[in-house]
Amino acid sequence: MKKLLMITVVVICISCCIYTSIMLNNTKKENTELKKNIQTITTKIDKITNDNTIYTEELDKLKKKNQSKDEELMIWEKAKEKLKKALS
């Protein structure tokens, strides 16, 4: 009986040890994965921020260039509105 109790305790202890080792290993893996994900998303953010800066500059240039065209488009849009009124 005493032997059985001792064996049970030893088995429990070893199981506990194995369990915590597995859990630790999983947590380590999760940690590595998270580090990797953070690095990936940081790289993506850097890239997209860079893209956005380029877009902003390009857009500013184009908007300046297209200013007169925007005005022209507005005239056509106004004419469209008037004609729609004439048709309603």
Partner 1 sequence: MGKSKRKAKKSPFIIIIFILIIGICGYLSFNNYTKMSKLKNDNNKKKAEYLVLNKKYNELLKSNKDFSNELEKEKDIDQTIDNSKKEVFELAKKAEENIQNGKTNYKIAYLTFDDGPYYLTHEVLNVLKEKQVKATFFTIGAGKESCIDNRSFNCTLLYKKIVDNGHTIANHTYSHAIFAGLYSSVDNFIRDIQKQEDLIYSKTNVKTNIMRFPGGSSTAKSLKNDIIIKLREKGYGWIDWTAQDGDGGALKTRDQAWNIFTKSINDNIEVVLFHDYNYITYSILPDAIKYLEDNNYIILPLFHDSVMVNK
Interacting residues with partner 1 (CB under 8 A) = 6, 9-10, 13-14, 16-17, 19-21, 23-24, 27-28, 30-31, 34-35, 37-38, 41-42, 44-45, 48-49, 51-52, 55-56, 58-59, 62-63, 66, 69-80, 82-87
- The residue (of 1 and 59) whose beta carbon lies closer to partner 1 is 59
- Please state, in angstroms and rounded to a whole number, the distance separating the CA atoms of residues 53 and 65: 18
Give the three-state DSSP class for 88: coil
Q: In angstroms, rounded to a whole number, what is the distance separating the alpha carbons of residues 62 and 65?
A: 5
Q: Given the complex with partner 1, which of 1 and 87 has the nearer CB atom?
A: 87
Place of tokens 């893996």: 29
